[in-house]
Amino acid sequence: MACFEECGCTCYEWPGDAVFDSAIERETRINITLRGLVETHPGWYSEGADGIANNDVTWIGLRNVPGVYVLWQQADYCSEHNADHLRAFYVGKAGKNIEARLKVHQGKKQINDILSTQVSIWQGPNRLAKYIEQLLLDSFSFPLNGYETGGTLPLCHHILPAAWN
């Protein structure tokens, strides 16, 4: 039985990994797995005016970092597995303007009403980042991505409470 009815996820089981990992292995020589990308967590920011006033995005330290980033919402908690359930809501290509893009997301995307928005990032060259971003969009559903979305699987992550804070 799934821990979370909205997406059908069970804590610490990631059926979407096989789709992503097999495509990466088959199509490229990039040494990355979906879990490796998801678990690389440089920080978080608060939404809206409070986060902007606190300069939350800047302290993450991602200025000029190339790669792919994923924005997460804390969606729920599973008492059976003592796990916070995070849901991916946006994927984007990082680079010299990532800090500016995150500031725009902070003010306009409104991923979380109260909680912080978590950030995962895979660091790598621009050309590979474009491929990885498109593979994620082709495989998974990102509710706040408006273009080039075709994926239907939810991208979820499960962590111990406060593990990323």
**Helical ranges in 28-125 per DSSP H:** 34-38, 48-54, 56-60, 98-108
Beta carbons of 136 and 129 less than 8 angstroms apart: no
What does the pLDDT read at residue 109? 62
Q: Which two tokens stand for residue 22?
A: 């097999």
Q: What is the pLDDT of residue 92?
A: 92
- Positions of E strands within the chain: 43-45, 65-78, 83-95, 117-123, 140-141, 153-154, 156-159
What percentage of residues in the chain have a pLDDT greater than 90? 32
Whether pLDDT at 63 is above 90: no
- Of residues 9 and 134, more confidence is placed in 134
pTM attached to this predicted model: 0.88
10 Å Cβ neighbour count for 27? 10
